[in-house]
Structure formats: C-alpha cells, structure tokens
Amino acid sequence: MLADLLPPGVEVTERHGPPVTVPLFADEERAVAQAVPARRAEYAAVRGCAREALSRLGVTTLAVPSAPNRAPVWPQGVVGSMTHCAGYRAAAVARADAWAGLGIDAEPRAPLPPEVAALVLDESERAPLAELDPALCADRVLFSAKESAYKVWSPITGVWLGFEDVRVHLEDDTFVVRLLKPGLGVDELRGRWAVGDDLLVTALALPR
C-alpha cells in the first residue's frame, strides 16, 4: 500500500502477517534489552524492513539504532521513516540530498474512540467528516496524517509538534497538513492516503 503512495526515489519495504524477527546489531540491541518479547519482536521485524529498503537504496550501513527519544537514527545521508501495527510493518528510505524528510504511518481500519478524537482533532477537522462514508474511518486517517507529519517535522526541527499544532484536510486520495507552528520552512505538507481491508496508511515526502 505505502509503496504506491510515495514518489520515485523513495524505497519502501512492507510486510504483512506475524513479525519476522531478524538479528539486531549491538547498538539496536541496547534499545530493547529490557523490552517484553512482543515489543522486541516488532522492533526487530520493522528493522528487517528497513534493512531491505536501505539495501535497495545502495546503502551498506544497515543498523538503525534508537535515539534517546526512541526515534530511529538513520545512516548518514539517508532520511527514513518506519511504522508498524498489528499484522503490518513498513519502512521507507531515501537519499537526504534529494529529500528533507519522510513520514509514514499505518493504523488499524477502525474509528478513533470519541474521547481520542476530541483530543487529537480540532472541531474544524471533525465537522467535515460527517459528510464522508463512515467505512473510510476518516477520523483515523486524520490522526495518521498527523503522525506522518510529526515524523517529517521532528528530525528536522528537534521541536515538539502537538496534534493541536496542525490542521489536516482530506481530499480524494491526498491530504494537506497545515502547520500552525513555524520551524520547517514551509506552511503546508502534502501527502497521500489509502484504506485497505483492515488497514489504513498515510505517507509524506518533503523534497529539498
């Protein structure tokens, strides 16, 4: 799904089903040394996706350790993003001289609980959803778009971006993220989204 949403020059690896564990490098191992088995398995499986995507990009440094804030640390000269949810995991990578940032997110195809929607979506975002097919779970798509936007924003700015700092507008198969906080050098990000049988995904690629 995600591979169809991102532009040429971005390598994507996706895996469905149970996590397939791969051996971890020492600097990756430290991040999950005390983790429960399920967390460790997902951590390793999504890095398996990252290794494959990096290899197709021609990168030989395949370790993707974690920063203190748990964000992935990509090899020099690479930007990337990873995501996982039940039964799915994916990684996207690109050359940093062409792309400033990538953001991908996958979510289960289910509506947001009302209390969560009230916290993460502004009324101006929630109101238009009444006109859309409930089967799209558009509130979850908006949430996912904000997650993807954060994954672009955070590595570039190093500053927190809250749900209230962005507004998302959905179009047919695209979305626009309006940034209410300065720092990225642009006021808007444009991405794409897709809904499958039990999964929905969003993707952003910010060019240089």
CB contact at 8 A, 168 and 176 = yes
pLDDT tops 90 at residue 131: no
CATH number at residue 68: 3.90.470.20
| Residue 56 annotated as binding site | no
| Residue 197 annotated as binding site | no
Q: What is the mean pLDDT of residues 178-200?
A: 95
* Structural domain range at position 51: 2-103
pTM: 0.95
Please tell me the predicted confidence (pLDDT) of residue 60: 92
What is the average pLDDT value for the chain, to the nearest integer? 94
Residues in the chain: 208
Please tell me the predicted confidence (pLDDT) of residue 69: 86
Residues 91 and 116 in one domain: no
In the three-class reduction of DSSP (H, G, I as helix; E, B as strand; rest coil), residue 28 is classed as: helix
Nearest of 202, 6, 200, 191 to residue 87 by alpha carbon? 200
Residues 88 and 16 in one domain: yes
| Residue 52 annotated as binding site | no
pLDDT tops 90 at residue 46: yes
pLDDT tops 90 at residue 130: no
| Residue 123 annotated as binding site | no
| Residue 202 annotated as binding site | no
Please tell me the predicted confidence (pLDDT) of residue 175: 97
| Residue 15 annotated as binding site | no
| Residue 84 annotated as binding site | yes
Least confident of 17-21, 117-121, 139-143: 17-21
CATH number at residue 183: 3.90.470
pLDDT digits (tens, 9 = 90+) for 165-186: 999 999 889 999 999 999 999 9
Residue 203, φ and ψ in degrees, nearest 5 = -150, 140
In the three-class reduction of DSSP (H, G, I as helix; E, B as strand; rest coil), residue 3 is classed as: helix
